[in-house]
Amino acid sequence: MSVQMAEISITPPVLLAPLAGITDLPFRRLVSSFGAGLVVSEMVASQEVVQARPLARARAELGFGDSATAVQLAGREPYWMAEAAKYVESQGARVIDINMGCPAKKVTNGYSGSALMKDLDHALRLIEAVVGAVQVPVTLKTRLGWDDALLNAPTLARRAEGAGVRMVTIHGRTRCQFYKGQADWAAIRAVKEAVNVPLIANGDITDSSRAAEALRLSGADGVMIGRGAQGRPWVLAQVAHALYGAPAPVIPQGDALADMIVAHYEAMLSFYGAELGIKIARKHLGWYLEAAGLEPARAEVLTADDPALVIARLRSIFRQQERCAA
């Protein structure tokens, strides 16, 4: 099973969602190592990446040589969106995704992200600018609408398809819901029925059974997993195996799990530099310990500032867990 966009095949159609501050290059590469059809970068501010501001440039270490990576752009001005699209394409990006779903106030207050659902004419100007600027496939990620009174995702998706977008991903919530309540997978079906391009369902998909139910209710062509991968970078491969017969991932345990976590930790330190990397890595280490049922060990790991000490503690904790399980 695959989703086709021009010459690009997403096989299997299980995608990693863009999560700000989480799906950086080290994490995307780790998820890809287990198996994923496509991984999407953190949202990149279009004007900042063109003007090479330090934070945006750091996020622009986007793994252009990694074939299964999409670069997600956000912005409110057609000129900067087009320029950013041309830049990332010139660097080797094979897919460009447009963010019209981020609910964060700092994004929507700048009339970007999901705020664009309140002005579909302007949203289309941005889409047209990006599609017209590049040769690679352009995709769109958005939500059901701004709020329950403005559920206009089907209209946006249909117009986006007409402008040249090759795939649409829908998070099954409105902007005003943020991440509260449950994602409404059934409501995504109206978007699927409005377009002919592939449709990906997103929101609260954390395992194979929920992925299967999301597909059943939405009629989508694939699924996108975000928070469900925190502490479990193999979960996309598990879903792909259960739903599409992809190879089953080997889920590390004991010393092997410690090796994987340490390698991810060291990759973050290398990517960000030790001082910032230590801080950014803490959330990932916390998720790993939680997923492994080792929450009581969080304090001793997350309060350590010496990388060598963090690594030693991680290896000791997982070795002890393996002994207890034997």
User: What pLDDT, in 10s, does the model give residues 291-301?
Assistant: 999 888 888 89
Average of pLDDT values for 215-235?
Answer: 97
pLDDT, mean of residues 308-315: 93
Q: Is 227 annotated as a binding residue?
A: yes
The question of whether 102 is a catalytic residue gets the answer: yes
- Taking 50 as the threshold, does the pLDDT of residue 60 lie above it? no
From the candidates 70, 82, 102, 235, give the one annotated as an active-site residue.
102
Q: How far is residue 266's CA from residue 241's CA, in Å, rounded to a whole number?
A: 29
Q: Is 72 annotated as a binding residue?
A: yes
249-278 mean pLDDT: 94
141 is in an annotated binding site: yes
Coil, helix or strand at residue 269: helix
Residue 177 phi/psi, 5-degree rounding, is: -80, -20
CA distance linking residue 131 with residue 135, whole number of Å: 8
Segment 74-89 shows an average pLDDT of 93
pLDDT higher than threshold 60 for residue 107? yes
Q: What is the mean pLDDT of residues 211-233?
A: 97
CA distances from 257 to 114, 206, 263, 284 (A): 37, 20, 10, 14
Mean pLDDT score of the chain: 90
Confidence tier at 44 by pLDDT (50, 70, 90): confident
Answer whether 0.85 is exceeded by the pTM: yes
In the predicted model, is pLDDT for residue 31 greater than 60? yes
**What pLDDT shows up at residue 64?**
59
Structure tokens at 264: 């991810």
Residue 191 CA: distances (Å) to CA of 83, 102, 103, 220, 224: 29, 18, 19, 9, 16
pLDDT in tens, 243-256: 999 999 999 998 99
- Please check if 241 is assigned to a binding site: no
Both structure tokens of 95: 């897919």
Would you say 163 and 131 are in contact if contact means Cβ atoms under 8 Å apart?
Answer: yes
Residue 58 has pLDDT above 60, yes or no: no
Amino acid at 29: R
User: In angstroms, rounded to a whole number, what is the distance separating the alpha carbons of residues 216 and 81?
Assistant: 35
- Ranking 49-63, 95-109, 136-150 by mean pLDDT, the lowest is 49-63
pLDDT of residue 321: 78
**Given 3-state DSSP classes, what are the helix, strand and coil percentages for the chain, each rounded to the nearest 5?**
50, 15, 35
CATH number for the domain running over 3-244: 3.20.20.70
Question: What's the rounded mean pLDDT across residues 98-112?
Answer: 78
Distance of CA 279 to the CA centre of its chain: 21
Between CA 262 and CA 257 the distance in angstroms is 9
Give yes or no for residue 38 having a pLDDT over 80. Answer: yes
Parallel, antiparallel, or unpaired: how do β-strands 38-40 and 222-225 relate?
unpaired
Query: CA nearest 325: which of 233, 257, 260?
Result: 257
